[in-house]
Amino acid sequence: LKYVGFSMRSNLMYRDIFMSKYGRRSYDTLNKEMVQRPKELMLPAKIYGRDGQSCQEMLEGLRSVELMENLLSFQKTYLAAESYTAHQKWELDQLQNESKHSKGEIPLTQLSLIPTLFWYDNIHITETSHYRDFVYNDKFKMVAKGSFVEDKLTQVMIRQVEKLGLVEGHRLFGCYLLDDHSGFFFTGHLDGGRYMSETARDAFLSNKMASMDKED
C-alpha cells in the first residue's frame, strides 16, 4: 500500500471501468484478490457509508439545487453498478461473522481500498519517501523531476502489469482508491459562477463593477 487516492466523479465506479477495459477475468482477480479492507477503515456506520450522516450533512450544505440533484442522480447510478453490488456481496458474507456484527456493539461499516492502474495527481496520500526513492528515482527512469506524474507513471505501471501480471505488476506501485460506498465522491471541480445563488452572484458582480469604477 503506497498510494491512496480520493475518489472523484471520473473514477468513483472504478471497478466498472476496470472490467469494461480489461475484461471479466482480470476483474475477478482484482475483486477477489486485490481489494484491501484494513481494519482501520472499519468505521462507525452512523457517520460513514451509504447511510452515514456525513452524506446528509454534505447535501444540506449545498446551495445549488441543481448540484444536489446531480449528486443524487450519480449516487443512484453508483448503487446499481458493480462497484457497489460487489461490496454488497462482500457485506452479506460478513454477516456470518459475529465478531464484526455482535449485538450491542456500535454498528460499523467497512471502507475499501480499490486497486487502480492509474496514478491520479488529484488529492492523494503517499509518503514523501515514495516520491523521492521510487517515483523520482533516477535509477528507475520513470518520471523526471518536474514532469507530470499522472501521465508518466501510469504508463510505466501498465507496462509492468503486462510484463509481470496484474497482481505482481500492481504490487510494485501499490496504488489504491478509497471508496466509502456511499455513492458520493470525495473531490470534484465546481463552477464558481454556477455554484453561487443568484443573489450572491448579483452581489459579487456589483462589488466587482464598483471596484472597477473606483480604479477608473
Query: pLDDT by residue (tens digit) across 22-81?
Result: 999 999 999 999 999 999 999 999 999 988 999 889 888 887 888 889 899 999 999 999
Q: What is the pLDDT of residue 21?
A: 95
Contact assessment for residue 175 and residue 113, using Cβ atoms and an 8 Å cutoff: no
Whole-model pTM: value is 0.82
Q: What is the pLDDT of residue 190?
A: 63
Q: What is the pLDDT of residue 195?
A: 59
Q: How far is it, in rounded angstroms, from Cα 120 to Cα 176?
A: 10
How many helices and strands in the chain, by DSSP H and E?
10, 6
Residue ranges in the chain modelled with pLDDT below 70: 97-104, 190-196, 214-216
Q: What is the pLDDT of residue 196?
A: 66
